[in-house]
Amino acid sequence: MKLSSTLKGLITGLLMAAAGLLLYINNVSETSPLQYIGYLIYGLGIVWTLTTFVREYQGELKFGSLFNQAFRCFIVVTLIMALFTLAFYKLNTRLVEEKAVLTRQELLKSETNRTPQEIDQMIETGKKNFPVLAASGAIFQYLFIGAVVGFAASGVLYLRNKKA
């Protein structure tokens, strides 16, 4: 069965979300190298998309057609990870509360001209907006990483096949 680039992106994104959930369920520290497993899956998903495209493509390979396939993969991954991040923080309000406590402590320690009431208001606004801000950050992060990996892998495969 021939899988499209978008379907490979769906598979990659679901694997990344599953890995994230497994790390969370198993209380893996945020400083653990295992936290990078999602990025490894992401990169491998893009490379998988491109290498199968090169194998199956009939005709002269162009860099643009390679990057287009990578884009189709990483745009789906980005969508899945943005939705996953949003849902994760919406469902795990305890994590948002913990981050709010840490932020409050940092704000109270810092030399700001804010009153405790102003800090409380900032924290409440931050708690309401945190899931959306986290999802927005995920969108930027995954688009950037996908573009860099897609660009690099497309370039390498283009140059390698041009020589052949």
CA distance 12 to 10: 5
* Alpha helix (H) residue ranges in the chain: 5-25, 37-56, 63-91, 93-109, 116-163
Q: What is the pLDDT of residue 78?
A: 98
Per-residue pLDDT tens digits for 20-41: 999 999 999 989 999 999 999 9
**What tokens appear for 158 in the block?**
């283009």
Token pair 């990057």: residue: 67
CA distances from 5 to 15, 16, 72, 154, 161 (A): 15, 16, 6, 14, 20
Angle between helices 116-163 and 63-91 (to 10 degrees): 150
pLDDT digits (tens, 9 = 90+) for 98-120: 888 888 888 878 777 777 788 88
**How much of the chain exceeds pLDDT 70, in percent?**
99
